[in-house]
Structure 1
Amino acid sequence: MALSLHLGGRGELLVLLHGIGSRWQVWAPVLPRLEERFEVLVPTLAGASVPELADEVLRLAGDGPFHVAGSSMGGGVALELGRRGAARSVTAFSPIGFWGPASRRWCQASVTAARGCARALAPALPALSRTAAGRVALFGLFFGHPTRVDPEAGLADARHLADGPGFAVARAAFARHRFAGAEALAGIPVTIAWGTRDLILPAFQARRAERLLPSARHVRLPGCGHLPFADDPRTCADLIVQGPAER
């Protein structure tokens, strides 16, 4: 279910998909660049499994094909849409599904801990988000450069993480999700980008992605965290814009 959405720009349709516990505004740093090239649809989706989220995107955007970029769980959904033939191009930032059992459990535990902290610290969130040290404490798990996070945006992100619906359902669904479908993706431009300072899905999973999806373009993002858009918005936007030109 779409809780809210943003639509802007003009051109070929591009759909942007957030990760677990997040919201469409996580893409805000890259939207100005993307809307110069695409009509950009960015929904906030309630938590669900990857196949269920792919179904919801198709209800919102039509059967496609359209360009799609996703972050974390949204990256897994983007790859699923590519596997289904609904995508013209796929750009996935630190997508889920290239994990082993231990790294999958770490991901589940870390995002659960972040949600718990956001709830426990709710009264202090406004004050913490206004200071550089507070942003490091609140957002350091997700961003390579947490002090670059806009305080008001970070506060809203933390509140959504604390209260967003479907979190437990999506987290449980991680256990059933592993990447598959490399053959179906071989015919479209696919970019997999990974921040070198990703603490949620550590970058060793990028090497597994290279092995399992050799037809893709694989990019490392120096100094970037799990959510690289505030860390290096221009590079992230350029990767999405350049994706359709790869073939």
Structure 2
Amino acid sequence: MSATVSFKVPAPHGPGEVTVSYARVGRGEPLVLLHGIGHHRQAWDPVVDILATEREVIAVDLPGFGASPGLPAGLAYDLPTTNSVLGALFEALELDRPHVAGNSLGGLLALELGREKLVRSVTALSPAGFWTEAERRYAFTVLLAMRGIARRLPLPLVERLARTAAGRTALTSTIYARPGRRSPEAVVAETLALVGATGFEATLRAGSAVRFTDELSGLPVTVAWGSRDRILVRRQGVRAKRLIPHARLVRLPGCGHCPMNDDPALVARVILDGSR
């Protein structure tokens, strides 16, 4: 069920109130799911029911994305602020060091939460932050182009395109290797989420100097990469393994940048194995 929670976080001019939209389902040890930039929590829908058989799953709309409003004035969309926000969210939802899985930006945030010892395990699917400067510029160019195209498309055209496999491919093949598997309703909803993402540009700007370099010792870490990722190329997974030697590196054959849709059973198994 969809819900919202509000809580205070430190801000330059006094505590600021942040509101986060989330969905919570299942029973077991808590598992928080974090989406990528421009996406929303429904990106996890293909795997939620599988995960909920063994975990209490909390899928989150990050501030400024999906149904969550943007951060209050004075708060930046950078990693320290997001760590603070997610830590306060865990307290508000009474989550004591949950497992966390994230995709893209969400994967980077999951790793950051691990570095801060706020979680008990990390599964990162195509996480940001292991790029070279050239790879980062390429990824940001693709993301900006995706948002620019989505903002120029009239809603009736998006709805018409989403009704066919070819149209869904045109709209989402950058992030999915098997876009025809995504439902028309989901494609329309995530296109609207990309258009309405108020935190998009600020998050992208904050990420321009980001590199993840921590070894995350003492914490179970899984890094998984789609073999057909067109935004963050898969050699970045090898780089992540070198930086986090004890991490389990998993290849996701036939999967794109958002693998949850391309192979739900495989991705759910990787996440559950990583959180055991």
> Under TM normalisation by the shorter chain, which class is it?
over 0.9
Code of the residue aligned with 2:172 in structure 1: it is F
Given the alignment of the two structures, is residue 229 of structure 1 paired with residue 260 of structure 2, yes or no?
yes
Aligned mate of 1:43, from 51, 60, 66: 60
Give 1:243's aligned residue. 274
- What is the CA-CA distance between 1:165 and the residue it aligns to? 1.2
TM-score (norm 1): 0.95
CA shift for structure 1 position 16:
0.4
- 1:98 is aligned to 2:115: no
Partner of 1:19: 36
**C-alpha distance in structure 2 between counterparts of 1:4 and 1:152, whole Å:** 20
Q: Which runs of 4+ in 1 moved over 6 A?
A: none
Q: Which residue of 1 aligns with 2:242?
A: 211
Task: Summarize the Cα distance change of 1:96–1:139 in structure 2 as closer, same or farther, 3 Å threshold.
Answer: same
Question: Whose Rg is larger?
Answer: 2
RMSD: 1.2
User: In structure 1, which of residues 94, 108, 114 is the aligned counterpart of residue 146 of structure 2?
Assistant: 114
Matches of 1:71 and 1:50, distance apart in 2 = 15
What's the offset of the Cα at 1:164? 1.3
Deviation at 1:74, TM superposition (A): 0.5
Count of aligned residue pairs for this structure pair? 243
In structure 1, the residue matched to 2:86 is 57
Query: Are the equivalent residues in 1 in contact too, given 2:214–2:243 (CA < 8 A)?
Result: no
* Structure 1 counterpart of 2:208, one-letter code: A
Distance (whole Å) between structure 1 residues aligned to residue 267 and residue 179 of structure 2 = 16
Q: Distance in 1 between matches of 2:275 and 2:174?
A: 31
Unpaired runs of at least 5, structure 1: none
Q: Please identify which structure carries the higher helix content.
A: 1
Structure 1 residue 122: Cα displacement: 2.7
Q: More relative contact order in 1 or in 2 (CA 8 Å, sep 6+)?
A: 1
Residue 133 of structure 1 is matched in structure 2 by 166
Query: With structure 2 as the length reference, what TM-score do the two structures score?
Result: 0.85
Amino acid at match of 2:60: P
Deviation of the 1:3 alpha carbon: 4.5
User: Kindly, what percent of the aligned residue pairs are identical?
Assistant: 46
Instruction: In structure 2, give the amino acid aligned to 1:131.
Output: T
Question: What's 2:6 paired with?
Answer: none
CA distance in structure 2 between the aligned counterparts of 1:244 and 1:223, rounded to whole angstroms:
23
Letter in 1 for 2:161: L
